[in-house]
Amino acid sequence: MRKQVLFGAALLALGTAVVSSCSKDEVVIDNTPGVETPVEDGVQELILNMNSAGDGLTTRGGRPLYSSEAAQEIDKVVIKIIDRSGSGETNDKVVRSITINNWQEVSKQYTVGGHGRMYTFKLSKDQKVPKGTYEIYAIGYTSTDSSYDFGAYEILDDTNPFSYQTQTLISTTDPEAEEVFAGSIYRITVDADGNFALTDNPENNVLTLHRQVAGVIGYYSNIPTLQAGAPINDYVSAEYNYDEYVEGLKLRLVSSNASNKIVFAGFNSKFTETGEDYMYVVNGSNTNALTTNSIEFADGTEAYSFYEIELAKWFITGDVNHDGLLDVNDNRDKEGNRLDNWISPYSSIENLEFEEGSVFAGKFVIPFQKVKNSPKTLELQLVAENALRHNGGSEVYAAGSIIRSWTINLSSTDPQVKGPDGAGVHARTVSETTGELAVMNPDLEELANSYSIVRNHLYTVGTKGTNDYNPDTDEPQDLSKGQELILKVNDNWELIHKMEVE
């Protein structure tokens, strides 16, 4: 019986807030020192496990972000074995490249947790790597209609030195991120007999792929149509084109910064259970190709748009009861019968449902640093595409006006804001050249109102644990109240922040 190392690549997936332990959703093959597994003579056997612990109208290849439910739909994994022996012709070059195509088809379900997938592949006698020290590096992604182009990574071999990979979004006019996973075993050795040498540190024996992007979810109800304190009766009289104005309203989430480039390095391999060993890593940057397209915060400072929710796509005939709110009462008559005035634009997608009278948006986002001295990172806006006019022609709200806005804060007790010992928290950045982590500018302490968006964390306003509707767990954020909107960070991501609306 020959000792070997099993490379388990666990794709850390979306999970619900009720999941308390995620070890089975992450590191799925534990290579405890001393474990022996049969292997055919003359081969090096590797086992790769993927675990499934935007708005759905996207046409891209990556899966949409509908909830914090466990899922993964990538179809390709490319593994590179890099010579890190320190000398020789192939030092710091790729000596073996292993590609797994059609991941969902060629892999099989494995039983732990009920939703992981596993694929076993072997390096034949002619493909085996010789005695030496190696880094095992892998990226898992969607290969068609993608926001990224991994062509250059796929063909890396011993003719070129290996460098930590980056990806810049293909489109600068529509910079839509999608889910992608990566990780590495930093150093592992092959002995004179051609066997992978097990070590005392399990981290050195398990290849863990973690999500390299962040997620942002907004789930809202009771949406006001006017500024706070505005008398609704004045706007639903015959003097105003109120109905037409409401049809043009949208919710827009804007941010103080944005990224369009990802660095696949500085992996948090220690992270194996949600709520433990999590880190705050910004592995994204802005190449200056991104523009704000004249988007602004309510105070007039420059901003980037994350998502927009056209309210007319949810409330077909608008504010039918003319009470100044878009809510469930616009879809019910006095007897409580449905009027079909509210419908989800995602209604054609199987098992995707929302609370009646709510609206939703979800996006994957490349992480970005907070902006120094910025008073806020995220702001939700109620924007009028159509002007509200007097019949005489004068404008009450001009087209493009920000009618109302809410600051999106982290909770003051969120771990990203305050460490367990009360100390301040600073995010880390990733070096593209060395792959190492470095503390961000010491002036940029993470604050409740001004914070970074970090890798493998999910930021939610409102709660939606699964794609289907569950009245016990679905909790859209009520926008009619003056409370803060809270961001939460949740299971199966390193952290899910439920955020506050102010």
Q: How far, in Å, CA of 287 to CA of 260, rounded?
A: 7
- Helix/strand number for the chain, H first, E second: 4, 28
Q: What is the mean pLDDT of the chain?
A: 80
Residue 329: strand, helix, or coil: helix
Greater pLDDT, 413 or 487: 413
Q: From CA 3, how far away is CA 37, in angstroms rounded?
A: 6
Please tell me the distance from the alpha carbon of residue 31 to that of residue 22, in angstroms, as a whole number. Answer: 18
- The structural domains of the chain, with segments of one domain joined by +, span 23-211, 216-501
Strands 108-110, 181-190: pairing kind: unpaired
Q: Mind listing the pLDDT tens digit for each residue in 385-410?
A: 999 988 777 889 999 999 999 999 99
- Quick one: pLDDT at residue 439? 92
Contacts of 413 (CB under 8 A, 6+ apart): none
Q: Which residues pair with 132 in a beta bridge?
A: 190
Q: Strands 281-282 and 428-430: what pairing? A: parallel
pLDDT at residue 161 in the model: 93
Quick one: pLDDT at residue 219?
96
Q: What pLDDT is recorded for position 273?
A: 62
Strands (E), 179-240: 181-190, 210-211, 214-221, 223-224
| Tokens (6 digits) for 178 | 């999608």
Q: What is the pLDDT of residues 166-193, one digit of tens each?
A: 999 987 666 689 999 888 888 888 888 7
pLDDT at 110: 53
Reported as a single tens digit per residue, the pLDDT across 88-101 is 999 999 999 988 88
Q: Count of CB atoms within 10 A of residue 330's CB? A: 22
pLDDT 10s digits, 44-62: 554 443 433 322 333 335 7
**Other CB atoms closer than 10 Å to residue 199's CB: what's the count?**
15
Q: What is the pLDDT of residue 488?
A: 32
Question: Residue 65 to residues 72, 237, 388: CA-CA distances in angstroms?
Answer: 10, 40, 34
Cα 365 from Cα 244, distance rounded (Å): 33
- Check whether 223 has a pLDDT greater than 50: yes
* Cβ(452)–Cβ(490) below 8 Å: no
> How big is the chain, counted in residues?
502
The closest of 284, 239, 233 to 258, measured between CA atoms, is: 284
